[in-house]
Amino acid sequence: MVIVGAGQAGLQTAEALRSGGFEGPITLLGDEPHGPYHRPPLSKAWLAGEMDAAQLVMRAPEMLAKKGIELRTDAAVQAIDRAHKTVQLADGSRLPYSGLVLATGATPRALPLPGADAAGVLPLRSRADASAIAERMAGCVEKNLPVVVIGGGFIGLEVAATARKKGARVTVLEAAPRLLGRVLAPVLSDWYAELHRSHGVELVFGAQIAAIDTDANGVRGVKLADGQVLPAGLVVVGIGVSANDALALQAGLACDRGIVVDACGRTSDPHIVAAGDCTARRLPDGTLLRLESVQNATEQGKSAAAALLGQDRPFTATPWFWSDQYDRKLQMAGLSTGADRWAVRGDMAAGTGFSVYHFKDGRLIAVDSVNAAKDHLQARKLLDAGVSPSTEQAADGGVDLGSLLSR
Ligand SMILES: NC(=O)c1ccc[n+]([C@@H]2O[C@H](COP(=O)([O-])OP(=O)(O)OC[C@H]3O[C@@H](n4cnc5c(N)ncnc54)[C@H](O)[C@@H]3O)[C@@H](O)[C@H]2O)c1
């Protein structure tokens, strides 16, 4: 079995193949110099310098060796030959496979603007990216130069919170009228805007960026369409990602802004499966769902391994995500897109712990919890079971929603 991509999804698939009884060789190919590592801390503890490299490692080399998983780092795959069932590596060598896993991840979208390739204009995806941002951020704190974050999504806001913690001046430039618009309902976007403002972050909505202003040291500022220039010693760009589906496309696999897979991770080739950020899952109604999360990578990895072993293990659990900003943990269960009503449980104004329950046509479809882990875990159970409280029950802290599950 050959796995292209040594991130969360690739590692999970390798381990699930082994625990599922596959006894042949497993080769895990990664194009970074490191073996599998945890990405979520990159915008938080790692960026803040509160974690050492050993804590970032997902599986020690000895552990992989013990499981008979051969890890090859700096090993980029250049092409897939489906007719001969081989992959071609950048060094020209070829590797045969009986089953192939594509776990190639995603790439940050670049700003298509003049000056965007200047030193100090950085994306955040890899360990190397995060280390480069940390170094430049330290320089900004020392010289009192502002940090400008482009994009008020997960990356942008987690970086903004970390930069504030390190003492940097921070401005977030968001093109849309609100933060986290891809995932949050407006009521929570507003709450997060207040949270960031209360920590001293300047927020600009409807931002239109014209260019990155540069000098011999790299970035000097961000020029807006109205001519205003915001000084900056570091610009972090977090404007979303694109699925890495180029290899699959080149090999003639079905792709649509991601490698198209079924609920079991199968692609349009019976010998090839895919998992994680690189995929777009075809739903029963024909639409495509792209999820970018740790849960999606691990669950699709398990499903993809099962598919290669001839079993059906559809990933149908409720999607969940989380984001840590300052001392607030946001946990999201389900997908709130299309919600027509919501109910708040807990004291949102005090912000000490609350959840927003999203309803569509009278049924619960998602729950976003802030510092309310119990609500989140219960929400996942309710959504998995298809059990819906009424909006009144959701809003009433005196009603035990867990009791609905046992009825
Ligand atoms: N806690 C988490 O779950 C977490 C944390 C960090 C990153 N991630 C993942 O990392 C990936 C990338 O995150 P992200 O924050 O880049 O993507 P995102 O889609 O979450 O947010 C991108 C934001 O950038 C804005 N934007 C787009 N173009 C812009 C422009 N030209 N100018 C200003 N704003 C613009 C969008 O409106 C959006 O708010 C995602 O897969 C995300 O799920 C997840």
Distance CA 76, CA 74 (A): 6
Query: How does pLDDT run across 34-69, given as a tens digit for each residue?
Result: 999 999 999 999 999 999 999 999 999 999 999 999
Strand partners of residue 200:
none
- Asked whether residue 245 carries a pLDDT value surpassing 80, the answer given is yes
Distance CA 9, CA 103 (A): 6
pLDDT band per the 50, 70, 90 thresholds, residue 122? very high
- Asked whether residue 152 carries a pLDDT value surpassing 90, the answer given is yes
Percent residues over pLDDT 70 in the chain: 100
- Asked whether residue 153 carries a pLDDT value surpassing 90, the answer given is yes
Whole-number pLDDT of residue 28? 98
Long-range interactions of 351-355: CB distance < 8 A, separation 24+: 351/191, 351/195, 355/379
Give the contacts of 172 (CB within 8 A, at least 6 positions apart). Answer: 148, 149, 151, 152, 156, 157, 160, 179, 196, 201, 202, 203, 204
Q: Indicate which atom in ligand 1 lies nearest the CA of residue 152.
A: 39
What's the average model confidence in pLDDT over 72-91?
Answer: 97
Cβ–ligand 1 distance for 47 under 6 Å, the answer: no
Q: How many whole angstroms from 246 Cα to the centroid of ligand 1?
A: 21
pLDDT band per the 50, 70, 90 thresholds, residue 351? confident
- Asked whether residue 241 carries a pLDDT value surpassing 90, the answer given is yes
Cβ–ligand 1 distance for 241 under 6 Å, the answer: yes
- Asked whether residue 407 carries a pLDDT value surpassing 80, the answer given is no
Strand partners of residue 222:
212, 230
Q: Indicate which atom in ligand 1 lies nearest the CA of residue 109.
A: 16
Tokens 């790439």: give the residue: 107
Cβ–ligand 1 distance for 325 under 6 Å, the answer: no
Whole-number pLDDT of residue 197? 98
The pair of three-digit structure tokens given for residue 151, joined into one six-digit string: 């994009």
Minimum CA distance residue for ligand 1 atom 43: 292
> What are residue 384's phi and psi, to 5 degrees?
-60, -40
> What are residue 118's phi and psi, to 5 degrees?
-70, 155
Q: What is the mean pLDDT of the chain?
A: 97
Q: Indicate which atom in ligand 1 lies nearest the CA of residue 241.
A: 12
Q: How many whole angstroms from 240 Cα to the centroid of ligand 1?
A: 4
Q: Indicate which atom in ligand 1 lies nearest the CA of residue 323.
A: 1
Q: How many whole angstroms from 198 Cα to the centroid of ligand 1?
A: 22
Q: Indicate which atom in ligand 1 lies nearest the CA of residue 173.
A: 33
Cβ–ligand 1 distance for 173 under 6 Å, the answer: yes
Minimum mean pLDDT range among 287-291, 381-385, 403-407: 403-407
- Asked whether residue 392 carries a pLDDT value surpassing 80, the answer given is yes
Domain ranges of the chain: 2-107+241-308, 121-237, 327-404
Cβ–ligand 1 distance for 124 under 6 Å, the answer: no
Distance CA 407, CA 391 (A): 18
pLDDT band per the 50, 70, 90 thresholds, residue 352? confident
- Mutation probe of ligand 1 site: the residue of 171, 239, 370 with most atoms within 8 A of C-beta: 239
**Where does residue 288 rank: exposed (0-12), middle (13-18), buried (19+ CB within 10 A)?**
middle
What's the average model confidence in pLDDT over 398-407?
Answer: 90
The pair of three-digit structure tokens given for residue 135, joined into one six-digit string: 């170094």
Whole-number pLDDT of residue 406? 84
Domains 121-237 and 327-404 share a fold: no
Q: Indicate which atom in ligand 1 lies nearest the CA of residue 155.
A: 15
Cβ–ligand 1 distance for 130 under 6 Å, the answer: no
Secondary structure class of 169 (helix, strand, coil): coil
Cβ–ligand 1 distance for 192 under 6 Å, the answer: no
User: Under CATH, domain 121-237 is a member of which superfamily?
Assistant: FAD/NAD(P)-binding domain (3.50.50.60)
ipTM of the complex: 0.96
Cβ–ligand 1 distance for 231 under 6 Å, the answer: no
Is 2-107+241-308 CATH 2.60.40.10?
A: no
Q: Is residue 200 within 8 Å of residue 146, measured between CB atoms?
A: no
Cβ–ligand 1 distance for 212 under 6 Å, the answer: no
Whole-number pLDDT of residue 26? 98
Tokens 């968001």: give the residue: 174
Cβ–ligand 1 distance for 211 under 6 Å, the answer: no
Query: How does pLDDT run across 267-317, given as a tens digit for each residue?
Result: 999 999 999 999 999 999 999 999 999 999 999 999 999 999 999 999 989
pLDDT band per the 50, 70, 90 thresholds, residue 222? very high
What's the average model confidence in pLDDT over 322-329?
Answer: 97
C-alpha 329, offset from chain centre: 16
Q: How many whole angstroms from 241 Cα to the centroid of ligand 1?
A: 7
- Give 183's Cβ-side CA count (13 Å radius): 24
Secondary structure class of 158 (helix, strand, coil): helix
Give the contacts of 85 (CB within 8 A, at least 6 positions apart). Answer: 96, 97, 98, 100, 271
What's the average model confidence in pLDDT over 180-192?
Answer: 93
Q: Indicate which atom in ligand 1 lies nearest the CA of residue 179.
A: 39
| Arch. (CATH architecture) of 327-404 | 2-Layer Sandwich (3.30)
